[in-house]
């Protein structure tokens, strides 16, 4: 039976072709490297509380990033069921990396990055993330006297973890693919 590809609503930024979850991660990181993505997300958070417009000279960059993040969250939602697959995990034992390489992930999340998606989607739904991303995008692109009324810090922290976990999964998928050749 042929595997069915799922549309992650990526038509606005990555094309209309169907993507697998890992394929969408690859496409996301072709458009945005990890540091740039985290920086732009932080700017969106900061500007959502200011009376200034983020990227006033080219606000379409922010909207494009919003669409990409929405797709990334949807791919993460689909990937949470793969937490028990061994091929993207590292063996038990001490981790031979510095805290800098862990990013925002805990040691357990570094071992199994799919846990990030499980923990995140136990606490938030896709609708919650859509609302969060819509609010910070809207408020960062407008000159409002007030910012979002909901808690934006917790989803922001989870989204940073999602970005780190997605990059880690992509790196491990490349290693697995290279070893299979």
pLDDT tens column, 117-164:
999 999 999 999 999 999 999 888 887 766 677 788 999 999 999 999
- If one counts the domains in the chain, the total is 1
Confidence check: pLDDT of 53 > 80: yes
Model pTM?
A: 0.84
Structural domain boundaries enclosing 36: 21-80+101-180
In a domain, 13, yes or no: no
Mean pLDDT of 17-39: 85
In a domain, 10, yes or no: no
In a domain, 2, yes or no: no
Contacts of 179 (CB under 8 A, 6+ apart): none
Count of beta carbons in the 10 Å neighbourhood of residue 70: 21
Confidence check: pLDDT of 175 > 80: no
């Amino acid at each position: 039976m042929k595997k069915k590809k799922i549309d992650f609503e990526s038509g606005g930024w990555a094309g209309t072709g169907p993507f697998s979850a890992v394929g969408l991660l690859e496409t996301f990181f072709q458009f945005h490297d990890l540091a740039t993505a985290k920086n732009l997300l932080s700017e969106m958070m900061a500007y959502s509380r200011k009376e200034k417009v983020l990227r006033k000279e080219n606000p379409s960059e922010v909207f494009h990033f919003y669409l990409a993040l929405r797709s990334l969250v949807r791919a993460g939602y689909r990937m949470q069921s793969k937490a028990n697959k061994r091929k993207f995990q590292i063996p038990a034992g001490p981790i031979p990396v510095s805290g800098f390489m862990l990013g925002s992930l805990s040691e357990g999340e570094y071992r199994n990055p799919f846990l990030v998606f499980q923990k995140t989607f136990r606490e938030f739904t896709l609708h919650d993330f859509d609302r969060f991303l819509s609010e910070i995008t809207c408020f960062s692109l407008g000159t409002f006297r007030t910012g979002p009324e909901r808690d934006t810090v917790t989803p922001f922290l989870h989204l940073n973890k999602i970005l780190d976990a997605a990059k880690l999964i992509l790196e491990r998928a490349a290693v697995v693919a290279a070893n299979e050749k």
